[in-house]
Amino acid sequence: MSGIDFFKRLLGGQATDNSQQANLLQAAAGLRTLVVDDSPTIRAVLGKMLGQEGYAVQKAVDGESAIELAKAEQPELIFLDIVLPGVNGFSVLRTLRHDPLTQHIPIVMISGNQQATEQFYVQRFGADDFIKKPFGQREVQRSIDQLVRAERLPVRVPMPAVTVPAAAAATPYDELRSTISGMAA
């Protein structure tokens, strides 16, 4: 995969099947997320993807700050890279799973390493999902959909359509206009 293809995929540039997209459940708007990755590009792109879906995003560049933020801010979902400077993602996952303050938070591990052994350890240490890099918006949405369906995240309730009667739709400006035109006649 070329560098341009990588960025297109990250930014959701590939054609998507709209019928599949429509069936994916979203988590509640404003969901607090934490993105942990040492790559500024991944933090920015994943943060943008989540922000566009209506989620609040915080970011951490390493394992130590991820643990501190998770304990202090209590995000509702964490995207956690495995390869991090200092404390790696496996250690962060293990620490968060053993802490009563954070053990309930769904964690999606992300990695560019294609080895199946990583997926085995991720599941063994209690991650909720695993996404391989490079990933696109569709993979992120699918992961969130799975967590919503598993009742690990609250489902987004669609806003009911509101219909306004024509008479109620009139604005004060409409009334002013009709008064002025009545005076001019």
Q: What is the pLDDT of residues 97-148, one digit of tens each?
A: 999 999 999 999 999 887 766 776 677 778 999 998 999 999 999 999 999 9
Residues 6+ apart with CB under 8 A from 67: 87, 92, 95, 96
pLDDT at 149 over 70: yes
Highest mean pLDDT among 14-18, 96-100, 181-185: 96-100
Band (184; pLDDT cuts 50, 70, 90): low
Distance CA 17, CA 164 (A): 34
- pLDDT for the residue 13: 47
Distance CA 41, CA 24 (A): 26
- Report the chain's mean pLDDT, rounded to a whole number: 83
Distance CA 35, CA 92 (A): 13
pTM here? 0.75
Residues 6+ apart with CB under 8 A from 61: 36, 37, 38, 43, 85
One-letter amino acid of 61 = V
Is the previous residue joined to 85 through a cis bond, with omega within 30 degrees of 0?
no
- pLDDT for the residue 123: 72
Query: Each residue of 71-81: pLDDT tens digit?
Result: 999 999 999 99
Q: Can you list the domains of the chain with their CATH numbers?
A: 3-184 (3.40.50.2300)
Band (28; pLDDT cuts 50, 70, 90): very high
